[in-house]
Structure 1
Amino acid sequence: MKILHAVTLHSPSHAFGGPVRVALNLAKGLRERGHEARLLALGEGFDPWPTSVEGVPAKLFPARRLLPLGFSGMTSPALLASASRLVRDADVVHVHLARDLVTLPVALAALRAGKPLVLQTHGMVDPSEKLLAKVLDAVAVRRLLRGADALLYLTPHERTGLDAVVGPPPLAQAVRLVNGTPAQEERPPLSGPPRILYSARLQARKRPVDFVDAAPAVLAAHPDAEFVVAGPDEGELAAVRARVAALGLTDRFTVPGALSTPEVLTELRRAHVYVLPSVDEPFPMSVLEALSVGVPTVVTHSNGLARDIAASGAGRAVDPGPQGVAEAVLALLDPAENAAASKAARELAAGSFSMDAVLDTLLGVYEDAARRS
């Protein structure tokens, strides 16, 4: 089966975050099962320009910023001109849909061509009062959500939001598909001072400053603790640096910027605890990666993985803010607690979020989509 995965942007800094990671994980898993999965996206920041990403054949078009609207204002005239041809070559078109000028045109091209169309929105299409969102919903989004052969969602909250965008009746072709993570080598036995890691985009909703503000309470009990704030800047880097300086903690913090996938895994294998203090996080890949390596994890209650983490003992779910983060980190730095949570994290990743289980579900979705189309 030839499957085209379309996502908005791929860059060395992984600026677009989780949807690209999901698309690559799925494409790699599909190729391991003998299918011809490829990636289609804008590209930015490469030298030399790649023809594959992590072993997945990729067609990347140089990104052009047409409007000052972040990712929504980026596109490529060459990609738009090629979309119809690219979707015709596929047996299934799997679009990681956002309100942008990349995935919307590709999905519309697949719909026009009568190709089996699978949409996965990653929480990026939800009810919005913004004028641009309303225009795009009226012009394209509702048509695509109704016309797709399958619509993949992560959480009941996301499903409710998609139904609200479309309006009644509810979307009959919606299927829940959790994010999966490939099996990873377990982190080695802990050594050295406690090391606490944040690795995600530096964005206001992710609340990296809460991570910084939790440090003094941790350092009061563990004065040798080390903190790492890694990830591409989306507006919060200056605030993070300013807060670290204001607290007099520049010798306790490392801020390395965006990391490659191997570099993220290296940091995870050194970490005693992983923290993602963001709010309303649908299903973060960084947390799944931490669990797969066996790193106890701290998230807020609005995280899509919070219940699984708390119920399994793989970490802690807390109220937003530095106090809850600090208390959870301190609890997980206890050696016995850390060892138990690490074991639970590995079991949770392997049992509930393995790539094999996700791919089994996805291939069934593809087969149903092909029949429906």
Structure 2
Amino acid sequence: MRVLHVVTLHSPSHAFGGPVRVALNLSRGLRERGHDARLLALGDGFEGPLPTEVEGVPARLFQARRLLPLGFSGITSPALLATAGRSVRQADVVHVHLARDLVTLPVALAALRAGKPLVLQTHGMVDPSDRLLAKVLDALAVRRLLRRASAVLYLTGHERKGLEAVAGPSTPVNTTRLVNGVPAQEPRPAPSSAPRLLYAARLQARKRPQDFVAAVPEILRHHPDARFVVAGPDEGELASVQALVGELGVAERVSCPGPLSGTEMLSELRAAHVYVLPSVDEPFPMSVLEALSVGTPVVVTRSNGLAHDIEEAGAGRVVADASGIAPAVRELLDPVVNERASVAARKLATEAFSMDAVLDTLLAVYDRCYAGTQA
């Protein structure tokens, strides 16, 4: 089966975050099972020509051009738009990681026009919104796509309800739950004696990197040799993080290395005693799944889509708000507790979020969608 995965942007800094990681994981898994999975996206930030392959997945990348000052919603490529019809016609299934932007929306519409099976996966990026741009795009394209797609994949019940609200009551949305999967990884080695705490996600307000930094002094009072890493591409919070680090007087203990490659991310996770993601309303973060896959215990907030699984498995700690981060980390720095949580984390990743289980579900969706267009 020829499957085209469409995402907004791929860059060396991984600025677009989880949707790209999901698309690549799925594409690699599909290729390992003998399917021809490919990636279509904008590219930006590369030195020299845009790559034609990303982590073993054939890719067609087009140089990103900014048309409007609207973050990811304002970038596109005239060349990508001009060839979208040809790209979707070459596929048996078009799998669009949909956002309200000028890349995924036009390609999804092209798939509808071409009569191709269209699978949408929104990663929590399409939800009810009062923003003017969202209302305009919903009226022009999003509702039509949700109502006419062969399948719409969702992560949580909250996301499904949001998608149905955006689509409106006139036509039911053909939804299927698909969790994010994580490839099997080698377990981390025994942690070093000096605690190492990691935050590795985009530096944006919703991710709450300052909450991680605010917990540093209390942790240092009990573990004065601890080291802290705040990694990820800057989306407006780096200056505030650095200012707070200076204000708290912990600059010698906190490093901000910037974006991490996939290999660097796994290396940092294996070196960490605990991974902390203080973000709120996070549907299904890939960074947490990757931490679990190597056996690094995690600390997340109650609104994280993985909170229930983590708490039930004992793979880390779930906190109500920022005040709970330092106590949770301190608990997990106990060697016995840390080892027990590490084993639970690996078990959870292997049993609940394996790529094999996710791919089985996804291929069943593809088969139904393809058969529907052939009837």
- The normalised TM-score by structure 1 is 0.99
> Relative to structure 2, which stretch is displaced further, 272-281 or 183-192?
183-192
Counterpart residue type for residue 85 of structure 1: R
Q: 2:206 aligns to what?
A: 205
CA distance in 1, matches of 2:114, 2:198: 46
How far residue 365 of structure 1 moved from its aligned partner, in angstroms, is 0.3
Greater displacement, 46-55 / 340-349: 46-55
Q: Which residue of structure 2 aligns with residue 6 of structure 1? A: 6
Partner of residue 277, structure 2: 276
Aligned to 1:29: 29
What displacement does 1:336 show? 0.7
Once the two structures are superposed, what CA deviation does each residue of 1:139-162 show, in whole Å capped at 9, x if it has no partner? 000000000000000000000100
**Conserved 8 A contact 2:298-2:317:** yes
In the alignment, is the contact (CA less than 8 A) between 2:201 and 2:232 conserved in 1? yes
- 1:246 match: 247
* Cross-structure match for 1:185: 186
Aligned residue runs from structure 1 range 329-340, under 5 A = 329-340=329-340
1:1-23 C-alpha deviation (Å, 9 max, x unpaired) = 00000000000000000000000
Structure 1 letter corresponding to 2:177:
R
Cα offset for 1:192?
Answer: 3.0
CA distance in 2, matches of 1:103, 1:171: 22
Aligned to 1:83: 84
1:31 alignment partner AA: R
Asked if the contact 2:164–2:173 (Cα under 8 Å) also holds between the matched residues in 1, the reply is no
Partner SS, residue 193 of structure 1 = coil
What's the offset of the Cα at 1:171?
Answer: 3.2
Amino acid at match of 1:142: R
Corresponding residue pairs, total: 372
Q: 1:156 maps to which residue?
A: 157
Are 1:163 and 1:170, in contact at CA under 8 Å, matched by a contact in 2? no
Give the distance between the partners of 1:29 and 1:166, measured in 2 at CA. Answer: 31
Q: Do the aligned partners of 2:96 and 2:118 also contact (CA within 8 Å) in 1?
A: yes
Once the two structures are TM-superposed, the CA of residue 310 in structure 1 deviates from its matched residue by: 0.4
Q: Deviations over 1:212-266 (max 9, x none)?
A: 0001111111000000000000000000000001000010001000010000000
| Structure 1 residue 172 displacement after superposition | 4.3
SS in 2 for 1:30: helix
Q: Following the alignment from structure 2 to structure 1, what is the Cα–Cα distance between the partners of residues 92 and 350?
A: 30
Please identify runs of 4+ aligned residues in structure 1 that moved more than 6 A.
Answer: none
CA deviation after TM superposition for structure 1 residue 270, in Å: 0.4
Q: 1:296-347: per-residue Cα shift (whole Å, max 9, x none)? A: 00000000000000010000110121x2010100000011110000000000
**1:249-264 to 2 correspondence within 5 Å?**
249-264=250-265
- Counterpart residue identity of residue 128, structure 1: S
- SS of the residue 1:283 aligns to: coil
* Identity over aligned pairs, percent: 73
- 1:107-134 deviation digits (Å, cap 9, x = unpaired): 0000000001000000000000001100
Closer, same or farther: CA 172–73 of 1 in aligned 2, 3 Å: closer
CA distance in 1, matches of 2:371, 2:35: 18
Q: Does 1:356 align with 2:356?
A: yes
What secondary structure is seen at the aligned counterpart in 1 of 2:215? helix
Distance 1:277 1:371 in 2: 43
Whole-angstrom CA distance in 1 between matches of 2:321 and 2:171: 32
Deviations 1:44-92 (A, max 9, x none): 0112320000010000000000000000000000000000000000000
Q: Deviations over 1:167-187 (max 9, x none)?
A: 115734100000000001100
* Matches for 1:57-96 after TM superposition, within 5 Å: 57-96=58-97
Deviates more, 1:164-173 or 1:269-278: 164-173
Aligned letter for 1:331? E
**Structure 1: 5+ residue stretches without partners:** none
Give the aligned residue type for 1:263: E
Tell me which amino acid in the other structure corresponds to 2:310. I
In structure 2, distance between residues paired with 1:62 and 1:324: 43
Match of 1:39 in 2: 39
- Corresponding position of 1:122: 123
After superposition, the Cα gap between the structure-2 partners of 1:70 and 1:189, relative to the gap in structure 1 and judged at 3 Å, is same
User: For 1:84 and 1:167, how far apart are their aligned partners in 2?
Assistant: 28
Q: Deviation string for 1:169-208 (max 9, x for gaps)?
A: 5734100000000001100011130000000000000000
